[in-house]
Amino acid sequence: MERVLERKLVVAQDGSGNFSRVQDAIDSVPLSNRDRIVIEVLPGVYRQPVYVPQTKNMITLRGFCAEDTILTWNNTATHIEHHQASRVIGTGTFGCGTMIIEGEDFIAEGITFENASPQGSGQAVAIRVTADRCAFYNCRFLGWQDTAYLHYGKHYLRDCYIEGSVDFIFGNATALLEHCHIYCKSQGFITAQSRKSAEESTGYVFLRCIITGNGGNSYMHLGRPWAPFGRVVFAHTWMDACIKPEGWNNWNKPENERSACFYEYRCSGPGSDPSKRADWARQLMDDEAAYFVAHCFVDPDQQRPWLSSKLSVKMPLSA
């Protein structure tokens, strides 16, 4: 059996580590890496876009406290300044992320990913994840519109904080967000999931999360379908009064009401009243919810699992 090695690198702005920039540490990871490499990021505000290419796998980015370890930049869909060319990272919303992850088996712990563009800047992504088997623990994702682009792959987020206003959790990944705090900064839509057909297994599940607002009432939708078969589930989630009574929006396309899969299950709080929900959204029965409220939603192959229980927390086996 091949011996698994773990290599540790340290990023510190004061020069006390191996590198002073996060990108330099990522660039040092060998191509097609097969051993877990931990990059410890010491407290500080790192003003730089960061890119993890497809050729850099098995990276753990570890901060000591998300409030003190911040990766921030201010690209928008219409204005991108990046050390990588557009042919590499893409253009528009796809290319404007402060953090862009394309390497598989990525883990982040205790890091803030921020797009510092002000309100009204349009699409301004804090993180784009286009990779399989990625996990985030105790991280913060800060922005206004399009904060977290969960684009592709299987993703697991636990004990994270995500804020925004318009479509601030979006894409077509298969994602389970557990024990996360969703903060609605101003009117808009929490999710914009883009499942394109009934055959796709993608979707977002919010399990035992809390949704809070700015003190106002009825200004936020739970989601709208970016593609006709968008699929989102809120289960055992507490909802603030900021959630509109109807809950869901069809993106001004009535035909989406026949295909979008917008579900809730045993939610609570002043914004969770099922009697006032849009009649094309559904409250799940116990047997229907079972598939969504288990970790197998993002880890379906139990013969080759990528998550395992460690100290009662699901962690990637590769960690």
**What is the pLDDT, as a whole number, of residue 309?**
80
Q: How many CB atoms lie within 10 A of CB 65?
A: 11
Type of residue numbered 257 = E
Query: Do 128 and 29 belong to one domain?
Result: yes
Q: Report phi then psi at 181, rounded to 5.
A: -105, 120
User: Structural domain tally of the chain?
Assistant: 2
Report, as an integer, the average pLDDT of 162-169: 98
Q: Indicate yes or no: pTM above 0.75.
A: yes
- Check pLDDT > 60 for residue 4: no
Asked if residue 136 lies in contact with residue 160, where contact means CB atoms within 8 angstroms, the answer is yes
Asked if residue 276 lies in contact with residue 244, where contact means CB atoms within 8 angstroms, the answer is no
Token pair in block for residue 9: 């690198």
Query: Do 54 and 188 belong to one domain?
Result: no
At 52, which helix (H) or strand (E)? strand 50-52
**Which CA distances in Å does 304 have to 174, 293, 299?**
17, 20, 9
Residue 194 in any domain: the answer is: yes
Residue 112 in any domain: the answer is: yes
At 101, which helix (H) or strand (E)? strand 99-101
Hey, which residues are catalytic here?
167
Q: Which of 129, 159, 189 lies at the terminal end of a domain, its last residue?
A: 159
Side-chain half-sphere exposure of 8, counting CA atoms within 13 A: 8
- Condensed to tens digits (0 to 9), the pLDDT of residues 25-56 reads 999 999 989 999 999 999 999 999 999 999 99
Residue 168 in any domain: the answer is: no
Q: How many CB atoms lie within 10 A of CB 155?
A: 25
Query: Do 183 and 319 belong to one domain?
Result: yes
Asked if residue 100 lies in contact with residue 108, where contact means CB atoms within 8 angstroms, the answer is no
Residue at token pair 């730089």: 48
Query: Do 18 and 88 belong to one domain?
Result: yes
Asked if residue 9 lies in contact with residue 18, where contact means CB atoms within 8 angstroms, the answer is yes
Residue 253's domain comprises: 173-319
- Condensed to tens digits (0 to 9), the pLDDT of residues 264-313 reads 999 999 999 999 999 999 999 999 999 999 999 999 998 999 998 875 68
Query: Do 109 and 235 belong to one domain?
Result: no
Residue 107 in any domain: the answer is: yes
d(CA 23, CA 227): 34
